[in-house]
Each structure stands twice: as structure tokens, then as C-alpha cells.
A and B are shown apart, each in its own frame.
Chain A
């Protein structure tokens, strides 16, 4: 495509899953215990989307990546210090809840408004990319609603690969049952791409990219608009984490068959 793509990545933050996460009821509803104490990481699904977006932008001259993210400003700032070194982007920050205990339509409305407000964004070149699911909720509906609010009708979910063909059309591989992909061809943007996992590894830290990103990240954080989501429109009857059953044993060099057999026996128990 001449002039490249305008790629907007919607990517939220989640508490570092390596921390101990305990649901609790706070003054404004369900929350995680000591949530503000916990370090935040980029939602892994959104992470794949961001890395793929950057990779696509790199291969298509003239392309640009915006990263639109909603979360408590302090947590976004913290996250930028690690993610900012990975790939080039311009941040659009929204200061709001990232607890996961929010209505996806509310979040989508705020994100869509923020995207609409990006100066110079050309919708005819727009690829709206985000995580297919979310580590915080897994509802999988936010990105779709953002697309609908922006009037984008071509939507693809569970995408593992996007490639630009010689005629400028986009070829997309969407996950379907049985570990197979459905192949679609879309003639032109705008499109919504709900990313699955793709195949790109996490890029290494590049301090130069970090320094470059920081010039726009800090002003973006300072401009971050406060957004009220998850404040009263929902009533949670109860909240709980999946129960953990864990028995630790360190075994080196076990074969795949041995591991599989053990899992089968564990499930039977």
C-alpha cells in the first residue's frame, strides 16, 4: 500500500501474573488485593499484537504505530520503562481502571473516542489491532466494539498472521477449530485484527528505541485524559480466581510421553 499503514494497537495492562493475586472487595467494587502495589505488565495477548504491528510497520515504509492504552497513569508509566525499549510507537494514554472489573462496552467507548481524536489518523489506512482475548478477563469483546464504534466492518479474530500481498491486499490467517486456519483476503483497510499469538518472539530491549519512545511517552502520560469506567454500572455478585491445585516436583529431562502420561493420571485423579 502506498504511504504505509496507520496501525493503532489497543493494549491494556494487567497485574504481573507472577505476583500473588487475590480478589477482594474494595470501596468501588471488586478488585485485587493490594492492586496498586503490584507491578503491571502488558497483557500478553496485546503484547503479541504490539510486536506484530511493529513488525508490519517496519516492513511497510511510511507506516506508523500508535499504542492506545487505558490504565492507572502511574502503572502505565512503569510499564513504559520496560515496553518502551521493545518497539517504536507513539503512546495515547487514558488514565482509568485496568482492573478487568469493568464493562467492555464502557472501555471500548473510551478507546474509540481516544482513537478518533488522534491527529492525522487516516481511517482509510487504519489497521486496528489488539489482543484477541485478555489475560484480565478473556471476554474478547472490547476490540470488536471499538471497531464497531469506529465503523469498521471488516473484522478478523484469532489472527496468527497478516501479510501484505503484491497487489496491496491483506491476507489473514484466522484460527478455526482443529488447529487449522481460515484464510481471508481483504482488499484494503480499515480492518480490525484481534491477534492470537502469532509467531514473533518478544523483541530484545533496545535502549535507542527506548530513548526515542520516551520523548513522546512522557508528554502523552502528562496529557492522559481521566476516564471513568467500572464505577457503578455493573454489580458483581461474586468474584473468585480459578482454584489452584499445585504439587511441585522438579524433574529434569522427562520425555514428552512421560509428561503427557502424568498429566492424564493427574486429570483422572
Chain B
């Protein structure tokens, strides 16, 4: 027997365990923490696991700090302000009230994007209108912004700084504890009841083999497990695998969002709180944004959605072309990269909603389907679901109710159904179905859904299964001869590099003129834009279930989409993963097109893991 593997797995009890510290957990813990003490400072609720003590509430976060989130946040902040009446943006670095809002349609100044014929005609017609005041530098500013897109009265935030502020206040209250650097491996499910969570094993090799310092992940048992680990969190997805999704729901629409925080050159005048949303470039399917924070700093980013069917898709290079669009480049030229990051977004929204509760657990935040895909808003919605759960939990504690599925349905789910998050989520539910057909129909669908309050939608073609991508040869048909595409991909495969750069070069995209301070290589972004680090002693969290599938996979979308170039083609094994470059965006698992079973599971398993991007400014 190996003495290392015989080390006993330890266990301890808390009353409530929370998985992941993002906006949903922030809303939950903030709301709850304010009600845990009586006016005289005595605990309002007594712990059941530690009689005589106040309620024991622990939150475990994978990242090495509570401020290492990634998001482009321009939010109405309705839920946040309701929870925090004293909210003052001056208390939070990089926060600014929204002052000006612009929605832009970007023309393609290069001629390299793949535009459908209808859009080319539209672009030509728009070209005749360049004398209008709405035109500037290959961009048309929409003279009217629909109310469902507006962020009136809201704020531009850095999610990292916001969470740092929220977490600091929470820990200062002394009522809850938040533990960064502590990934949660799995839920503890016994007879369909969630009894808590299991933390990740420490002291193991990359393949999980125990070493001399092996410490089995501890079991944290709790009467209530609050699952707020986002769209690619290990606990949420294991619950989905175990319990399935409600009939008719699916989570097959995704996007990878990539952003940079940029220090503008000194002569750029851009009022803090100015926000831009854009469409049309670098590809019609890719939406973009630029938000002005305080202190001469902007966040700029794009979303590459799953319905953008380029198998050699990359968020990084498209982000660079987006930044270099003449409209934005007038601001960004001469700027300096301060931070960079990427994350997956669950774009199925309400349609991707899992079972919100079960015996012993409740789901909140993006992983619970709270993102509004019409308004493109997720942080405030996630926060609000956390707040709603906290209010429900307090009601249950007051009534002495246990955290059964029935009680949680009665308290939390009903309250959530009556909330603005649910109502607006229903309006948005089918609003993006048109994009499955074309960019133009997608825009029309959003307008119809938005103006009709969800009553009229472009007929749905939302995928209940994974979307099949065309081959690179098919995608670049008419731009690059198929034989040349094959040759480029074979060449990249033999060198272990992604194929998007040579393919984009060949398709007419100009090479990025690297300047060493804003336009930098993807590898330099890992070093300059927040640094990526993975502590030793943990297993790889990206696992290729069946290597033979990877060997025979032709497209290897995972290599191209990988935000950190952590997955590389390997001539011997198909692909290889380098944990030290992974930013935990999770794009690999939903971009993999190698389906391994009837459930639609892909060949990449994205498990709980340590490390990631170290930036507090994203």
C-alpha cells in the first residue's frame, strides 16, 4: 500500500458554504452579512454546527486573490444599489458614473472581414451617407439607442476592484470568511442531496498522482451549498451532469470575452463614464466595447460568440484589430497595456437555466442562467440573484426551515420568478435566435424582442446541441484555396502553433505592428497584462479525456481559441496543455467539437484548478 494515498481525508462542518467569489456571491454574502448580528452585536442566528457560535459561513474562491475576475462592466447597477444604499463610486478604484453612451456600427476599413452580401450592400449604402454628422472614421453612431440597451444612471466598473471592495467590506464585518486560492473540486452528493463540497487535492503531480506532500482535498460539509462558480465552474457543471437540465433548456450558446485595460496617452480627452458599444467589425458576429474609467484609463474588449463559425477563431488577434479600427485607434494609439484578461460567457441566458435548487443547494449568478443576453448585462443580474437568495435564506432561518428543495423552491425560486431579473430574462430569452441564421436577422431579432417586450421574436433556431463548425477549408472558401488552407494547418500542426495567424494573414488581415506597449504578442500579454501563474502541487485542470480523439481531430479549435495559448498542437499526442499559461477562461471545453457521448459532452474536461491570471484591474 502506498502510505501517501492512505492519508485520511479530513472533514469539517460549516452552516453555509459558498462556491466561488464573484458578483453573485458578493450579492449573497453582502445581503446576508448585514443581517447576521442583532443591534447589540449578538448573533441573530446560532450556528448548528458550532452551538453557541454565530452562523458559520465560508466562501471558497479558486483565484489567488478575490480581485482576479474578468469582465467589462457597464451596468445599471440597480440590484447593487438596492443592496448598498450607501454605494459611492468614489470608494471604488476605476469606477465612474456613466455619462455618455454610444452605439456604433463599424465599417470594415480593411476589407478582410467575411461579410454577407446583404451587409456589403448595406455598407455601400452607408458609404453614401458619410456626410452625415453620425459618421466618423469608418463608424456610424446610432442616433437612437433603444431603452433596453441603455445603461442610464449606471456605472463603469472594474470587476476586480469592485469585488476587492465588496470582499474587503465583507471580511471587515467579521461575519463571513472568504478564502482565495482554494478551488472546489466537486459537490458532495449523497442520495441526490448536496451535503457540501470537496476541495481540490494538494501535493499532486500534474496528472493527479500523489507526491510526498499529498493532502487530500478536505470535505466541507454544510446544510446549504450556494453554487456561484460561474459558467464554467466545476461544481455547477457537475450538478448539471448529475441532475440534468430542466426539459427544453440547454447551455450550448457561449462567447469568449477578451479585454484589455489601457492607459491612454496624455493628450486624449475622454470623459470618464463614456461608453461605446460596437458591432460590425472585425467580423460582423463580433461585438465590441470601450468603457472610460476614471484616471485616463479605458477597458476595451470584444465578444467572440459560438455562432461565429470560424474554426480558426481567436479572440486575441481579433481584439487587436478591433482596437486598431480607426474610430477607436484615435483614442488608443500611443496607449499602454495595463491589464488583459478573458472569460467565457454563458450566452444561453434564461434558456440555459439549470435546476435552481435541490436538496441542500441553490444556484445563483451566471451559471444559474441570470445573464440578460438582450441587454448584454450580467454582473448586476448575478448580484441580484445572490441578494434574492440571501433574503430567502434569512426567511428560512427565521422560520426554522431546513434547506430542502421544497423549501428553497417556495422561498428562493418563487421570489426569483417575481424579480426583474426573471422578467427581463424572459424578454431576452429568444432575442438572439436570429443570429443563428445571419448577422442581419440577429440584429432584427434583438430589436423585435426588445421593442415588443419579448412577445415577437425572430423564429428560433437555437441549438439544443453543440453547433457544428465548418472546416477551415469551407470557412475560407473564396478567400484561400482549400489546398493552401490544408497546407497552412498542417504546417502549424507540425510546429505546434495556432493556425489563426497565418490564415488571417492570408485572408487579408494586416499583420499587427507590435509596439511593445499596447500591441504586443499574445505571450507578452500573459506577462505584461496581469501575469499568469500556476502554483505547483495541483493537477492539471484541462484534461483531454480520449487522446485518440485529439490525434485525429482536424480543426483543433481548442488550440486557436485558447486565450493563453496554453493548448498547443502536438505532432505526437494531438494536443498538449501547459497549465502555467492558462487563464481559466474555459473556452476550450465548449469549443471542442469532439463529442464523446450522447449527452453532448466534449473531449475536454475543464476541472477545478489553481492559479490563473493575476490582475486586479480587469
Q: List the A side residues contacting B616 at CB < 8 Å.
A: 16, 19, 37-39
Check if A81 is an interface residue, CB within 8 A of chain B.
Answer: yes
* Stretch in contact with the other chain, from A6-14, A106-114, A206-214: A206-214
Complex Cα distance, B161 from A201, in Å, reads 31
Which residues in chain B, 41-70, are within 8 Å of chain A measured between CB atoms? 56, 58, 60, 64-68
Contact with B along A84-116 (1 / 0, CB 8 A): 010000000000000000000000000000000
Quote the shortest CB–CB distance from A266 to chain B (angstroms): 17
Residues A207 and B614 in contact, CB atoms below 8 Å apart: no
| B614 and A18 form a contact (CB under 8 A) | yes
In the assembled complex, B182 has its CB within 8 A of some CB on chain A: yes
Closest residue of A by beta carbon distance from B610: A205
Chain B residues whose CB sits within 8 angstroms of the CB of A37 once the complex forms = 93-94, 161, 164, 616-617
Is A20 part of the contact surface with B, judged by Cβ < 8 Å? yes
B370 interfacial by beta-carbon distance below 8 Å:
no
B218 contacts A207, CB within 8 Å? yes
Q: Do B168 and A20 touch across chains, with their CB atoms under 8 A apart? A: no
* A interface footprint on B25-36 (CB within 8 Å = 1, 0 otherwise): 000000000000
Q: Does B220 contact A (CB under 8 A)?
A: yes
Chain B, residues 506-536, CB within 8 Å of chain A (1/0): the string is 0000000000000001011001101101010
B308 contacts A by Cβ under 8 Å: no
**Which of A18, A74, A211: most chain B Cβ within 10 A?**
A18
Pairwise interchain contact A77-B531, C-beta atoms closer than 8 A: no
Interchain nearest-CB distance for B49 vs A (Å): 11
Tell me the minimal C-beta distance from B584 to chain A in angstroms: 15
Chain A neighbourhood of B199, CB < 8 A: 205, 207
Decide if B93 touches A36 in the complex (CB within 8 Å).
Answer: yes
Asked whether any CB of chain B lies closer than 8 Å to the CB of A78, the reply is: yes
Tell me the complex Cα distance, A77–B173, Å. Answer: 11
Q: A201, B168: Cβ atoms under 8 Å?
A: no
A74 proximity list for chain B (CB < 8 A)? 168, 172
CB-CB < 8 A to B66: which residues of A? 78, 81
> Do B528 and A214 have beta carbons less than 8 Å apart?
no
The one of A207, A222, A250 in contact with B182, judged by C-beta atoms closer than 8 angstroms, is: A207
| Inter-chain contacts of A211 with B (CB < 8 A) | 12, 56, 58, 177
Chain B residues with Cβ below 8 Å from A268 are none
Q: How far is the CB of A170 from chain B (nearest CB, A)?
A: 26
CA distance A85 to B533 in the complex (A): 19
B213 touches A18 (CB 8 A): no
Whether A16 pairs with B65 at a CB distance below 8 angstroms is yes
List residues of chain B with CB within 8 A of the CB of A16: 65, 614, 616
Tell me if A240 counts as interface (CB < 8 A to partner B). no
Inter-subunit contact A207/B58 (CB<8 Å): yes
B614 near A82 with CB under 8 A, answer: no
Interface flags, B316-356, vs A, CB<8A=1, else 0? 00000000000000000000001100000000000000000
Known contacts: A16-B65, A16-B614, A211-B12. The answer to whether A77 contacts B533 by CB under 8 A is no
B615 located at the interface, meaning its Cβ lies under 8 Å from any Cβ of chain A in the complex: yes
- The verdict on A81 contacting B218 (CB below 8 Å), with A16-B65, A37-B93, A207-B199 known, is no
Query: Which among A74, A204, A221, A246 has the greatest number of chain B C-beta atoms within 10 A?
Result: A204
B179 at the interface (CB under 8 A from A): yes
Q: Specify which of A78, A204, A206, A214 is in contact with B177 (CB 8 Å cutoff).
A: A214
Is A238 positioned at the interface, with any CB of B under 8 Å from its CB? no
Is B174's CB within 8 Å of the partner chain A? yes
The docked-state distance in angstroms from the alpha carbon of A96 to that of B171 is 19
Q: Using Cβ atoms and an 8 Å threshold, which residues of chain B touch A25?
A: none
Q: CA–CA, A20 to B615, complex, Å?
A: 9
Known: A16-B614, A37-B161, A81-B66. A204 touches B203 (CB 8 A): yes
Q: Which B residues, 182 to 202, have Cβ-Cβ distances below 8 Å to chain A?
A: 182, 199, 202
Residues of A within 8 A of B494 (CB): none
> How far apart sit A211 and B54, CA to CA, in the bound complex (Å)?
13
B139 at the binding interface (Cβ < 8 Å): no
**Which listed residue (A78, A218, A246) contacts B65, Cβ 8 A?**
A78
Contact (Cβ within 8 A) B218 A82: no
How far apart are the CA atoms of A34 and B218 in the complex, in Å?
A: 37
Q: How far is the CB of B63 from chain A (nearest CB, A)?
A: 10
Name which residue of chain B comes closest to A213, CB basis: B177
B213 touches A204 (CB 8 A): yes
Whether A19 pairs with B531 at a CB distance below 8 angstroms is yes
Q: Nearest A residue to B520 by beta-carbon distance?
A: A248
B341 smallest CB distance to A (angstroms): 13
- In the complex where A19-B616, A37-B617 touch, is A208 in contact with B177 (Cβ < 8 A)? no
Interface residues of B (CB under 8 A from A): 10, 12, 56, 58, 60, 64-68, 93-94, 161, 164, 167-168, 171-172, 174, 177-182, 199, 202-203, 213, 215, 218, 220, 338-339, 521, 523-524, 527-528, 530-531, 533, 535, 537, 614-617
**What 8 A-B pairs are tightest by C-beta distance, nearest first?**
A18-B531, A204-B202, A18-B614, A39-B65, A218-B174, A37-B93, A204-B215, A82-B181
Q: List 19 additional A-B contacts (Cβ < 8 Å) besides A39-B164, A248-B527, A250-B523.
A: A16-B65, A18-B614, A19-B531, A19-B614, A39-B616, A78-B167, A81-B177, A81-B178, A82-B65, A204-B202, A204-B215, A204-B537, A205-B199, A205-B202, A207-B60, A207-B182, A207-B199, A207-B218, A211-B177
27 contacts between A and B (CB under 8 A): A16-B65, A16-B614, A18-B533, A20-B528, A37-B94, A39-B614, A74-B168, A74-B172, A78-B65, A78-B66, A81-B66, A81-B180, A204-B203, A204-B215, A206-B215, A207-B12, A207-B60, A207-B182, A207-B218, A208-B10, A208-B12, A208-B218, A211-B12, A211-B56, A222-B174, A248-B524, A250-B523
Binding site for B on A (CB under 8 A): 16, 18-20, 34, 36-39, 74, 77-78, 81-82, 85, 201-202, 204-208, 210-211, 214, 218, 221-222, 246, 248, 250
